Chain A
Amino acid sequence: MSQPPAKPDLVTVNIDGKEIAVPKGTNVIEAARLVGVDVPHYCYHPKLAIVGNCRMCLVEMGLPAVDPATKQPVIDPANGKQKINWMPRPQIGCGTNAMAGLHIRTNTPQIKDCREGVMEFLLINHPLDCPICDQAGECKLQEQATGYGRGYSRFIEQKNVKPKRTQLGPRVTLDDERCVLCSRCIRFSKDVAKDDVLGFTDRGSYSTLSCYPGKQLANNYSLNTVDICPVGALTSTDFRFKMRVWFLKQTNSIDTESSVGVNTVVWSREGQIYRITPRRNDEVNDTWIADSARVLYKQVRDDSRLTTIQVNGQPAELDAAISAAAEFLKVGNVAIVGSGRSSVEEQFLTKKIADAIKASTQIVARAAEGDKLLISADRNPNTRGALVTGLISKLPSAQLTELAAAIDAGKVTTVLAINEDLAAAGLSAEQLDKVKIVYVGTQSNPTSAAAQVVVPTHTVFEKNGTFINQQFRLQKSQTAVPGVAGTVNDSVVLTQLLAAVGGNKLASDIATLWNALSAEIKSLAGLSFAAISETGVVLSSTEFASLAFPEGETLHFKPAAKP
């Protein structure tokens, strides 16, 4: 759990006549944002070191005039207020930090000229690639040229020619002509990804972003450079030429690669997902995400996707499948294998089903080494959801040895598997044969092949849900695309199953489910799905303080001292 921030030392600054109190040291670009003033920039990024090289954020800076002899404020007779000494040279906003009495002007003729100048300079060697450039629609050069450029070109010389289609690495394509040499990618690779592999070669206007010949930008965070590149120099090879961004719908979601719970945006059009990008959360992932998390949307249309409800190998309607499943479940000796990848709502419903039929519950652990950045050692995004909902009371193991033994001993005759492949968790084909299996999940696998009832459900991209990350932060994910034809929403399946085995009749919509969740689970009291903020809600974790969670340190997370 991160410490609550110390109370900041506030200073009052004046930006274009608007006064605001900001923490001392806040840079002018951020301070201006707070009063609704846009200070255009390229090289500045809130999560990277300040370099001040684009010169687009130039602003006029002034400080209150004080008589050096008497130390008294100098008053301007024209308006009776303290005179402001405006510096003749404009200053970069990113490199100017708030101090008491700082005055900033961004709307003067000089600043207008500065911006037009920088825009003109950036465009003179920039190729006319907009029609074929992926960045169009989210390109800072386009936006700022429109907002602050002069609108016409005076350049009639030959533009510089540079390499245009370099495969910088397995996932990133580089077009050096478009590069504005802001160095964001270099700073990111070196300081955040800790992979010092990018640099500028040659000099002056011929400077070129490069990798050392023979080396590649191949680390698992390489695509962040594409996100932060303000122009179309660095682009995603996967996304190249696929879709114009203005056609894409953006949905806030949560990455399920690990318990870090990186915040994401899922970009889709007409039911197809085209890419995933990180969503800023200063408490979880800053503005970053691992490359491996971005490809998770491919599971939606993967060949292994289950798309037909089946009973005993034959296509069936949902009602029939629910009835058939309920028959098996009511018999008794049921083990429920839930998932650390299911949402809190699904785990809640799973627990209710377990209570209704007195079944044992477990989930399957996914442990792998964390990368100390945005992938934790727990590759289940929602182990803590299972704990908070009571689905489990201790940390899971990767192999279901107890269940296997119970099956061999005849103590378990039916297994309800929710999105977990029992074979991968250690059960043998013989053991799968010994039990009746109801499989509720997304991808086909040995378990779904052996199951008597198969109900295909939704990936995280096709439903609403919440997940509790390693910080015990409850974060919500929203439906990006409709479920693939033939699939059913997990909550619909689970509420129907619950009703069919004699449990409560609950509506499956998420708002109503949350009425139940907030009523029945102490740490979720008072919450509703709508009210969960986009940056999440940190829940109490004292109840679980004695558990030896596997996660080590990652960005914004330090594990609690071992119990």
Chain B
Amino acid sequence: MSEQAEVIAEFRDAGVLAGVRWAYESATRRALESYSEADGHDAAWLGHTRFTLFRDRLDRVFSCMRYAVSADEELDLDVRYAELSDADRVTMPRLAPGLVRRSDLFGSAGWAYRRRRFLLAGGDFGRLDTLPWPNKSRTKQIVALQRNPDVRQPSLFESLLPADGGPGESGGPAESGVIDPALLTADRELDLLTYVIAHSLDPFSGEAELVFGRPRLNLGGGPAWYWREDLLAPPLARPVDPGQVPDAPVRLRRPEGGVSDVAG
């Protein structure tokens, strides 16, 4: 079984993916409702708001941080549902507290289920497949440097390092587009296998993208993922077994003009 199939099945079966999808849909809906160019909002505002709300909704659905359960169940529910729309309250998956825990990595918000962690990364709509990790934070670069479990031979990234590549920033976004050479020789094993959920939103059409995958450090451009799963796609389903589908409704005609009720 490929890593993708294994991880997706594990997260889906536990209800984690349903929680992530709910969190993102709730966050984008609220962000778009609040967005107003007339009020001076712009793409940066929308991106920041979306991220803040997404992080908040993930904490809510997974009962993390300020939404962690206490002895007062009623108060917990009040806090968890505060400011949510009726639709969001109804559709929020009911997941056991502790199923997913907060697991930040070097200051980046992260959540973990069993031995796997995921972080968040925003991107431009329609461009998540080529999301430039060298332009992202050092943390994301480290995550994108983890070894691809589906490939058995050593990585050849070293040869792709730009000859004049200077050191990147140690904290926030590395806008220069080059990465710290020290990263390439660093240990590629993290404490937990770490994945990224990338998200985007087109403010004009309201269309959103949400993918879960294993990032690939795409120095010099190219694919941003070893694999990625579209979380907004319709639910996975095997095609129906053609032998199990009932016949078309055919009924006998009766001489009186009626028909018998012998459906297929």
Decide whether A and B are members of one complex: no
